[in-house]
Amino acid sequence: MANLKCPKCQGKTQILDTRSRADGKIKRRRQCFSCKYRFNTFETLDKKR
């Protein structure tokens, strides 16, 4: 989950912004290096029990 590919051109993406939410999920804003397409991803933290 570290390096997501661009959904449009499969290019490399960079993380523009990372925000943790109250529900425990992490929202990341990403942008493609190649086509500049921006999209958001939601990741769930693995909680240790």
Name the residue among 29, 42, 32 with its Cα closest to residue 1.
Answer: 42
How many C-beta atoms surround the C-beta of residue 31 within 10 A? 15
d(CA 26, CA 31): 16
Shortest distance (Å) from residue 17 CB to Zn ion: 18
**Residues that bind Zn ion in the complex, under the rule CB under 5 A:** 6, 8-9, 11, 32, 34-35, 37
C-beta closer to Zn ion: residue 15 or 35? 35
C-beta closer to Zn ion: residue 25 or 38? 38
Shortest distance (Å) from residue 39 CB to Zn ion: 9
